[in-house]
Amino acid sequence: MAALLFINIKQLVGVHKQNTVLRGSQLAELPILENAFLLVEDGVIIDFGAMYELEINVPQLPKNVIDCQGQFILPCWCDSHTHLVFATTREEEFIDKINGVSYAEIAAKGGGILNSANKLNRATEDELFNSAWQRLQEVSKLGTGAIEIKSGYGLTVEGEIKMLRVIKRLKEKSNLIIKSTFLAAHTYPLAYIENHQGYIDLIINEMLPIIGNEKLADYIDVFCEEGFFSPQEMETICKAGMHYGLKPKLHVNQLNSLGGIKYATQLNAVSVDHLEVIAGDDINYLAQSNTIGTLLPTAAFFLRMPYQPARQLINTNCAVALASDYNPGSSPSGNMNFVVALSCIQLKMLPEEAINASTINGACAMEVQNEVGSIAIGKKANLIFTKPIPSLAYIPYSFGTNLIDRVMINGEYI
Ligand code: NIG
Ligand code: FE
């Protein structure tokens, strides 16, 4: 692929020297190069620097030189928590919620996840693939360059495997980095409401061997919540998944604090996600672990729940990432630009913190920090080119405005 040289970049954002997760006060450290150049070749970043160094660094200018006057370049968003594969949207529940019914009440009436599972089990693999593919195109145009996608709307052997095969096909066809998570333990299907052990046995004895055999997932997830899976059940399921090489990446503390964070950190989970409700020793367990706390502010926004205590987590030296939770029930949007804005507006994260949490820390929460998540030589040229903007803070400040001029994935504009 011919070399591309970008010059006069107003700010080149996220030129981190290291690919390690940022915790506590490090999260506000977002290295930036002003008036910069960037050289891309064969889909990767070859060089970058200040404009005054251009002559020395790039003595022979390539044919393609692009003037980026006034533009910022950022690494693409790394969205480490989504449920992007689903059969249909659920705007009827959205109306129920407007009329005062709670998320938990909707779930208890057979709506929510069970509603999505019914529809998913009736959809064909191709139908699911096609709609998920559309959503993937949509989020990549919004700047997402790496994404995690979960199963969890099957809740049957066939349904869960079908979802994971769809994710595998997305991985094969897409230029985005995609990680796959097995989430059969999303809720108890109706047939197992009185027989929890029966469903756990189904996950362990029927689903996991197929997933292991076909290498259908990278991670295992459990929705650890009152009325869903207990911390002990989560531990049993995670240990079975770990036997097949799946590391835990878990839904905890969305509605209640049941001790899921303690169990998850003891399992060395890659991440614990949601964290709307933090109590007791939760925060200390997280701060003292290698587990990343992934905040999903658009889920709190959409469900009108208290926002994640980001400041408290950061001030206690936790490693924090941000993700969209794109799903039909609690966050029907995969727009990471809005996630970043909302995190600044409602979670009181600084723009630098929100951008780091959505790039390098999101990459760490998918273990792809050596490939994406920052501007570094050798990393994939997965880049967001903004329209001309006055400052970095303008990005979250002007929420709802599309400031993206172009997105590049593997060195190609999309
Ligand atoms: O992360 N809370 C559990 N799972 C999803 C929502 C699933 C749904 O409502 O369909 C979440 O918010
Ligand atoms: Fe989720």
Atom of ligand 1 nearest to the CA of 254: 2
Q: Is the separation of the CB atoms in 36 and 11 below 8 Å? A: yes
List the CATH code of the domain at 77-364: 3.20.20.140
Q: What is the pLDDT of residues 188-246, one digit of tens each?
A: 999 999 999 999 999 999 999 999 999 999 999 999 999 999 999 999 999 999 999 99
Whether ligand 1 lies within 6 angstroms of the CB of 250 is answered as no
Q: Which residues contact 45 (CB under 8 A, 6 or more apart)?
A: 38, 39, 375, 376, 377, 378, 379, 380, 381
Residue 110's pLDDT band (cuts 50, 70, 90): confident
* Domain coordinates in residue numbering, the chain: 4-76+374-413, 77-364
Name the token pair of 381.
Answer: 């040229």
Helix axes 157-173, 112-122, angle to 10 degrees: 70
What pLDDT sits at residue 107? Answer: 83
Name the token pair of 163.
Answer: 């979802």
Q: Which residues contact 342 (CB under 8 A, 6 or more apart)?
A: 297, 298, 301, 399
How far is the C-alpha of 96 from the C-alpha of 202, rounded, in Å?
33
Give the CA count within 13 Å in the CB-facing half-sphere of 166: 32
Q: Is the separation of the CB atoms in 393 and 354 below 8 Å? A: no
- Among all bound ligands, the one having the nearest atom to the CA of 120 is 1
How far is the C-alpha of 286 from the C-alpha of 266, rounded, in Å?
10
Instruction: Please tell me whether residue 6 adopts helix, strand or coil conformation.
Output: strand
Whether ligand 1 lies within 6 angstroms of the CB of 327 is answered as yes
Q: What is the pLDDT of residues 266-294, one digit of tens each?
A: 999 999 999 999 999 999 999 999 999 99
What pLDDT sits at residue 343? Answer: 98
Give the CA count within 13 Å in the CB-facing half-sphere of 4: 17
Q: Whose CA is nearest to atom 11 of ligand 1?
A: 330
Whether ligand 1 lies within 6 angstroms of the CB of 93 is answered as no
Whether ligand 1 lies within 6 angstroms of the CB of 253 is answered as no
Q: Whose CA is nearest to atom 3 of ligand 1?
A: 223
Q: Is the separation of the CB atoms in 203 and 222 below 8 Å? A: no
By C-alpha distance, which of 14, 75, 81, 54 is closest to 270? 81
Q: Which residue has the tokens 């996630």?
A: 339
Give the single-character DSSP code of 206: I
For CA atoms 266, 267, 270, 276, the dihedral sign is: negative
How far is the C-alpha of 241 from the C-alpha of 245, rounded, in Å?
7
- The answer on pLDDT for 104 being more than 90 is no
Residue whose CB lies within 8 A of the most ligand 1 atoms, among 85, 223, 250, 295, for a mutation test: 223
What pLDDT sits at residue 174? Answer: 98
Whether ligand 1 lies within 6 angstroms of the CB of 140 is answered as no
Neighbours of 124 (CB within 10 A): 10
By C-alpha distance, which of 25, 63, 62 is closest to 46? 62
- The answer on pLDDT for 109 being more than 90 is no
- Among all bound ligands, the one having the nearest atom to the CA of 94 is 1
Q: Where are the beta strands (DSSP E) in 186-278?
A: 219-224, 247-252, 271-274
Provide the residue type at 29 as one letter. Answer: E
How far is the C-alpha of 340 from the C-alpha of 396, rounded, in Å?
6
* CATH architecture classification, 4-76+374-413: Roll (2.30)
* Predicted TM-score of the model (pTM): 0.97
What pLDDT sits at residue 178? Answer: 98
What is the 3-class SS of 214-238, one letter each residue?
Answer: HCCCCEEEEEECCCCECHHHHHHHH
Residue whose CB lies within 8 A of the most ligand 1 atoms, among 330, 331, 333, 339, for a mutation test: 330
- Do the domains spanning 4-76+374-413 and 77-364 agree at the CATH topology level? no
Provide the residue type at 261 as one letter. Answer: I
Q: Is the separation of the CB atoms in 251 and 221 below 8 Å? A: yes
Alpha carbon of 136 to ligand 1 centroid (Å): 19
Alpha carbon of 238 to ligand 2 centroid (Å): 17
What pLDDT sits at residue 19? Answer: 97
Mean pLDDT score of the chain: 97
By C-alpha distance, which of 9, 71, 70 is closest to 45? 9
Residue 1's pLDDT band (cuts 50, 70, 90): confident
Q: What is the pLDDT of residues 24-67, one digit of tens each?
A: 999 999 999 999 999 999 999 999 999 999 999 999 999 999 99
How far is the C-alpha of 371 from the C-alpha of 380, rounded, in Å?
6
Q: Whose CA is nearest to atom 9 of ligand 1?
A: 329
How far is the C-alpha of 11 from the C-alpha of 224, rounded, in Å?
42
Name the token pair of 330.
Answer: 């609690």
What pLDDT sits at residue 108? Answer: 82
How far is the C-alpha of 148 from the C-alpha of 181, rounded, in Å?
7
Residue 80's pLDDT band (cuts 50, 70, 90): very high
Whether ligand 1 lies within 6 angstroms of the CB of 325 is answered as yes
- The answer on pLDDT for 180 being more than 90 is yes
Q: Whose CA is nearest to atom 1 of ligand 1?
A: 325
Q: What is the pLDDT of residues 358-398, one digit of tens each?
A: 999 999 999 999 999 999 999 999 999 999 999 999 999 99
Neighbours of ion ligand 2 (CB under 5 A): 325
